[in-house]
Homo-oligomer: A and B are copies of this chain.
């Protein structure tokens, strides 16, 4: 069986628990950080899950390890295939190298050199395409047909969602360890693999805690889809610096879970994302990329009323380049 023929079924809480077992000793159990001075400023207790500290610099490694572990032994020799210009590429490439599986990653030739270089350095074969004249799905399907490689989707896959959901299990356990009762959790959202996985995990491990998606303005397809109850799409001409999460519309499985389990969707401006990066630098000493900072940005900019509350936010990735980080630090801060 390869992923192209796999049914689009939602994972269950037990799948998240099984993923956690598979990730043991591989993924970093990232700490749950908080900064007293930031708490004082916000008059709230903000708990930050820094997945920028995860292997390959983002949470994507979790889903990749879990999904790749589910590939039957007999299919592994034919390799895996993924499309991505960023964090999913690196997560799949590194997870594949650990399992001794050949990875082919289809990346746009104008992707940042560092991301292409990192993906190659993790041992993957990178296939570059021209995003303006070529279709990556066609290239992927041709390669999959030729080689029998398993396609590893970035979010709309039960194994991927369950892997990302392990973050929710850890948040629930780590909050309990410090005696914190969560009033809300905010999670960055592109296609929705992370937020739906975390919502699924919390529904089992800490039921009743409201979970919110956070997206860039103009890419708030999840927020609008949750509001309307059907798949909404973003304006194809929209642009954002939050490159990791500028997907056109929620996934089928991820929206199915989100519709059932999310309390709502929040959206932040690029400026608010940059300010959150600067706050993460100053108060938490972590490097967060724009797309990884939108959940923190939603909390800091008051998109959710967190006053007097205990709120966890996921900082989902840290693969920012020096120029973007410097831009965030140079903004006027109070």
A36 is an interface residue with CB less than 8 A from chain B: yes
Per the bound structure, the CA–CA distance linking A121 and B40 in Å amounts to 9
Of A25-33, A139-147, A193-201, A203-211, which binds chain B? A25-33
A326 is an interface residue with CB less than 8 A from chain B: yes
Known A-B contacts A121-B40, A329-B326; A285 and B285 likewise in contact (beta carbons under 8 Å): no
A314 is an interface residue with CB less than 8 A from chain B: no
Within 8 A of B (CB), among A267-305: 278, 281-282, 284-288
Of A49-57, A156-164, A235-243, A249-257, which binds chain B? A49-57
Interface residues on A, range: 35 or more
| CB-contact partner of A31 in B30, B281, B318, under 8 A | B30
Chain B residue at minimal CB-CB distance from A331: B322
Closest Cβ of chain B to A133, distance in Å, is: 31
The interface centre, meaning the residue of A33, A37, A114 with most chain B CB atoms within 10 A of its CB, is A37
Contact A278 B322 (CB under 8 A): yes
A134 is an interface residue with CB less than 8 A from chain B: no
| CB-contact partner of A36 in B122, B278, B286, B330, under 8 A | B122
Contact B53 A118 (CB under 8 A): no
Contact with B along A31-69 (1 / 0, CB 8 A): 101001100100000000010110111000000000000
Within 8 A of B (CB), among A114-137: 114, 118, 121-122
Closest Cβ of chain B to A126, distance in Å, is: 15
Closest Cβ of chain B to A32, distance in Å, is: 9
| Residues in B whose Cβ lies below 8 Å from that of A287 | 281, 285-287
SS class, residues of chain A in contact with chain B: helix
Contact B329 A325 (CB under 8 A): yes
Contact A31 B33 (CB under 8 A): no
Per the bound structure, the CA–CA distance linking A52 and B53 in Å amounts to 13
| Residues in B whose Cβ lies below 8 Å from that of A30 | 31
Contact A118 B37 (CB under 8 A): yes
Per the bound structure, the CA–CA distance linking A331 and B25 in Å amounts to 35
Contact A318 B285 (CB under 8 A): yes
A219 is an interface residue with CB less than 8 A from chain B: no
A73 is an interface residue with CB less than 8 A from chain B: no
Contact with B along A74-89 (1 / 0, CB 8 A): 0000000000000000
Per the bound structure, the CA–CA distance linking A179 and B294 in Å amounts to 36
Per the bound structure, the CA–CA distance linking A25 and B177 in Å amounts to 8
| Selected A-B contacts with CB under 8 Å, 6 pairs | A31-B31, A36-B94, A37-B121, A281-B322, A322-B329, A326-B326
Question: Assuming A50-B285, A53-B286, A286-B286, what are 13 further A-B pairs, CB within 8 angstroms?
Answer: A28-B31, A29-B31, A31-B31, A36-B56, A36-B94, A37-B118, A52-B285, A285-B286, A285-B287, A285-B288, A285-B318, A322-B329, A326-B326
